[in-house]
A and B are shown apart, each in its own frame.
Chain A
């Protein structure tokens, strides 16, 4: 927190005259609101982009009417619709858990934003175990999903939630293992330290370390993170065509919107993690491009990965449950173990 507080004191000197507890609270509140606004705007743009991309990949145009230019206001209109929609809670549902599940899921995905390094100076919370914090916080998402599925009192929702739990628990292992491969290289869990270790152009990024070993680790992380955020081809928990949106079936209006927000926030978080760990975070592609500020590079790389996620979604069909388990336990996990062994062996040599 100290670096952030110093950053804000630099920005607004008047803050340093206030008592510590007040200035800390103000900074925290501003950061929280900022993160929420970022997620909301990102989800608005992301959903619109996803619909446009899916449309064009199927030789359609996607939304074209609302707002004039290529339907840019479509998601805004949808949000207004969701805000005024009736909030339906099934009679036999567990009311407390039902109401609470979307917020737990959203909180878990938003908490991860606390440790994302946006530029050399700006990181909301500079933890020395930042990566570990993000990994542990983002696994809370599964609790929200399980709560929603269980409280809905609907067998299909419960199916979706159980699938999601099984999937997330299995895929967290390759996620963590492939990140360990990169950590062997940087030797730190501090997000800023990881990024700083990749200075000096594209070929110093971790993705090209011990080529192609770290590249394979990056691919493993990318695949596993897709499963972590329930994106196609790993969208079995939602499975519109068989489970009718799984754990979200009984939700409507703003509660449903919060699930959607959390999904898009998660998409960004996993992309931001791979950006930080493998693609050099806020480091520019080449050292002479230093004058472009860090957030541009960070956002650009993360959005590029989000685009690839969308591209994959409209390319691949959904996996079967047994294929899902095969992929993680028999392919991704052994490969990442082999990578850890190889990289540590090379490092010792």
Chain B
């Protein structure tokens, strides 16, 4: 009997205590924020979207090699002997036309392994995290400053140069072979 009344007393008391707690929380400030309208400032070192400062990129491919998921694709064309592409902000000479620098953010695993090897500190993680797209293909970010035509022209130039080099090499080899043959005949 005592147990029975104690049960009832405890039920009422604990319900009142609980109601007090919820009443107190009814008037405390909400801990949530209205996200799209109010945003929390992320720390500057937070690892979100990748950014490449192409003015500083020397096309050394170290970031592409460091990437564990192969999300960085770089295509370089060697600069000509008389071409001057300028220097980077830390004084390195730029020797390559970086005609393609694509980062597929859909593949990126945000490890920042590409950031550390960069000799000119041009590839960085930024705190920008709002880059959702309607198509997965749109997550492929193009950083190269060369337009498609310029890149194609440079590729064409490179192809011609290589072809000329190859032709020259072949001609040289041929000449050498002919010289050797002549020598052989002479010897015989």
Contact = CB atoms under 8 A, between A and B. Distances in A.
A315 B19 contact: yes
Contacts of B32: 59-61
A314 interface: yes
Contacts of A315: 15, 18-19, 21-22
A30 B110 CA distance: 66
Q: How large is the interface on A (under 10, 10 to 19, 20 to 34, 35 or more residues)?
A: 10 to 19
Interface in A301-316: 311-312, 314-316
Interface residues of B, number: 17
Contact of B34 (A53, A64, A331): A64
A341 interface: no
Nearest to A59: B31
Nearest to A64: B34
B34 to A, nearest CB: 6
A56 B19 contact: no
A264 to B, nearest CB: 21
Interface string A136-166: 0000000000000000000000000000000
Contacts, number: 38
A59 B18 contact: no
Interface in B1-21: 4, 8, 15, 18-19, 21
Contacts of A316: 15, 18
Interface string B15-52: 10011011101111111101000000000000000000
A58 B28 CA distance: 9
Interface in A56-110: 56-61, 64
B34 A314 contact: no
B25 A58 contact: yes
Nearest to B20: A315
B25 A312 contact: no
A26 to B, nearest CB: 45
Contact of A57 (B15, B26, B31, B34): B26
Contact of B30 (A53, A60, A311, A312): A60
B25 A56 contact: yes
Contacts of B22: 57, 311, 314-315
A79 to B, nearest CB: 24
Contacts of B4: 330
Interface in A38-60: 53, 55-60
Contacts of B26: 53, 56-57
A113 to B, nearest CB: 29
Nearest to A313: B22
A318 to B, nearest CB: 14
Nearest to B12: A219
9 contacts: A55-B30, A57-B22, A59-B28, A59-B29, A59-B32, A311-B22, A311-B23, A315-B18, A316-B18
Interface of A: 53, 55-61, 64, 311-312, 314-316, 330-331
